[in-house]
Amino acid sequence: MDKDRRAEKRGLSKKSKDAVFIYGFLAWPILHFLVFWVAMNVGTVYNSFFEISIVNGRTFVWFENYKEMFRFIFGVKERGILNWHGVLNSLSLIPLAVFINMPITLFFAYGIYKKVFGYKVFRTVLFLPAIVSTVVLCLAFRLALDSQKGIIVPILRLFGLAGDGSGYDTGVVPVGGWLGNDETMWGAILVFSVWTGVSGNIIYFTSSMARFPESVFESAKIDGATELRQFFSIALPMIWPTVTTMTITLVAAVFSWFMPSLLLTDGADRATTIGLMITQTVVVDENSTVICAFGVIVAVFGAALILSVRKLMEKLTTEVEY
Amino acid sequence: MRGKYTGGDRVFRSLLFITMFIFGLSFLAILLWVITGSMRSSANFSKNPFGIFDITFETIAKNYEKAFTYKVGGTTDMFRMILNSAIIVTGTTALAVIVPAITGYIVAKYDFKLRKILTDLAVITLVVPTVGSVATTYRFMNALHLIDTYSGVFLLSAGGFGFSYLIFRNYFTAIPWEYAEAAFLDGAGNVQVFIRIMLPQAVPIIVSIAIVSFIGNWNDYYTPYLYLREHPTVAYGVNAIYSKYKTNYPVVFAAMTFSVGVVLIIYLFFSKTIMESMSAGGLKG
């Protein structure tokens, strides 16, 4: 338009006009990336070698923050927010996501693709947790599990699995309720994350499956392959690139995952996660550089882990073009 | 129908159906419990958490009135939180569409020096968990006096290389370039081709990304929790109302029902568009 006409007057070639367009429009996103991704991460590494206080300002402390962080994590030194439960909890979410949530999601998507009875209803209903906010899901789960006014305990009571709610005769319900008991709270959170983890990604799988050529399945059927067999030898290989991307996203999300811990247990020590420890520290003390050291370790370790997962998954199968 | 499937397939299908049914039913049951609970009196609810026949107009009005008039932090009632949410959601949703659409389009359709690097950028951001940089980001935002401001949240969300960039890039890659070339021959400029020829073909994916990010931003708890404490949004407010009315479930349910209702309506309107357009681009990293 105007810009191009001006460019023409100046005798710019199509190539230079392209360059003006490309870099003109990419300037902002690139700048944003450089500031909020590159600079913030470099800044985190930099800060991790300093101590920052309002009184003394910045002091270079070598690896002191790293040592301190490991002391907290391995329980050598007591600290409310940073503890080894959080690291272990976060890591335990990885096998859960990869070996439970992902397969269930895949099978559900396959069921919808294969038009299992009621698939139209399932397609909408199973997507519900993806659109309902985590706050609401957490509160609903928390209140449903409540021993006094929830609905789970009365149902268990019907089967004689829970006491009458008075005293300590609580049956399968632990003292304080599942979310209030140190021993069971993380387990309850895992149940929550399976219950809600199936949902959101189903859309990517069903949509990838929608593009499958019918003919492949038809001929497999004629050859007598069962639908379960078709899933493993046809559907899964064809959908593998999406599975790989999804798995990487899920594993990466584990490191910042914290909402259910915060909202279901108010951030109890035994139910904390890496993401929650970092966020809560920032809320309490934005000048904490121990948390920067922790962040650096998480980034390095996490990236290595995620890259290995990616490599492994790419090796597992060769991509099928269709 | 019976003869259509072999024995093994019938077992497989039944198992799939049963599992999907259990999950689906649990979602609907809890949702129903929350919605009906929001209409009952606290006293009745305490006596029997399952009842639905004691709903009256007065009990509904009472719960929703309490939920809507409670002031979070002593200053912000639900109406103000709706306004806060509306401002935040409008801005962040617009940014989540515009910026990634531009970057996705340019990387998909133009050949330039930085292209390879930018193609990999989304993968790098996926692979490195940068949750630890939040302390640095918070300090930076604080230094710019952008904590507790709308513009701070907009600035944070105005990136162009996130997840929707991947989806836009794949979508634009799949759109043929012939029309654009014809337009270039007719003397159209780059901006013109983008806005008049390519964008209209991407309307379905734009709508989908807009809806998905609308839902995500409406539901977002993290951003207001960290960067917007003085301007609570509805998602933040729901939890605040829970903290206040811990034992009065119906009031908490009223707030939850409202927060869910908004996205549910949007979802039911647009679910077909979302489902359809997602299938076009796919998700290959």
pLDDT mean across residues, chain B? 89
The predicted model gives A42-53 an average pLDDT of 94
Contacts of A44 (CB under 8 A, 6+ apart): A292, A295, A296, A299, B132, B133, B135, B136
Q: Do A151 and B226 touch (CB under 8 A)?
A: no
Would you say residue A201 has pLDDT above 50?
Answer: yes
Asked whether residue A149 is domain-assigned, the answer is yes
Q: Do A278 and B132 touch (CB under 8 A)?
A: yes
Closest CA to A202 of B19, B257, B99: B19
Give the pLDDT band of residue B71 (cuts 50, 70, 90). very high
Q: Is A295 left (phi over 0), alpha (psi -120 to 50) or beta?
A: alpha
Q: CA B135, A300, A88, B122 torsion: positive or negative?
A: positive
User: In chain B, whose CA is at the least distance from the CA of A17?
Assistant: B190
- pLDDT by residue (tens digit) across A135-180? 999 999 999 998 888 888 888 888 878 776 555 556 778 888 889 8
Interface test with chain B among A119, A126, A133, by most B beta carbons within 10 Å = A133
The CA distance from B259 to the nearest CA of chain A, in Å, is 8
- pLDDT by residue (tens digit) across B5-30? 788 889 999 999 999 999 999 999 99
- pLDDT by residue (tens digit) across B202-217? 888 888 888 888 888 9
CATH, range B78-281: 1.10.3720.10
A302, two tokens: 């996490």
pLDDT confidence of residue B285? 39
pLDDT confidence of residue B155? 96
> H or E stretch including B187?
none
Longest CA–CA separation in chain B, Å: 76
* A25-34, A121-130, A199-208, B199-208, range with the lowest pLDDT: A199-208
Q: What is the CATH number of the domain that holds A115?
A: 1.10.3720.10
Asked whether residue A53 is domain-assigned, the answer is yes
The size of the A-B interface in CB pairs under 8 A is 301
The CA distance from A188 to the nearest CA of chain B, in Å, is 16
Q: Do A139 and B282 touch (CB under 8 A)?
A: no
Contacts of A19 in chain B (CB under 8 A): 112
pLDDT confidence of residue B283? 46
B123, amino acid identity? V
Interface test with chain A among B44, B103, B116, B136, by most A beta carbons within 10 Å = B136
Contacts of A124 in chain B (CB under 8 A): 271
- Containing domain of residue A179, as a range? 47-316
Asked whether residue A321 is domain-assigned, the answer is no
* Residue with token string 């019907």: A158
The string of DSSP codes covering A221-274 is HHTT--HHHHIIIIIHHHHHHHHHHHHHHHHHHHHH--HHHHHHHSS-GGG--H
* A277, A86 Cβ separation under 8 angstroms: yes
The predicted model gives B159-183 an average pLDDT of 89
For the entire predicted model, the pTM comes to: 0.89
Q: Do B137 and A307 touch (CB under 8 A)?
A: no
User: In chain A, whose CA is at the least distance from the CA of B50?
Assistant: A151
Number of domains, chain A: 1
User: In chain A, whose CA is at the least distance from the CA of B107?
Assistant: A22
Backbone angles phi and psi of A250, in degrees to 5: -65, -45
* B133, A40 Cβ separation under 8 angstroms: yes
CA dist A250 → A125, A298, B179, B203 (Å):
22, 16, 38, 28
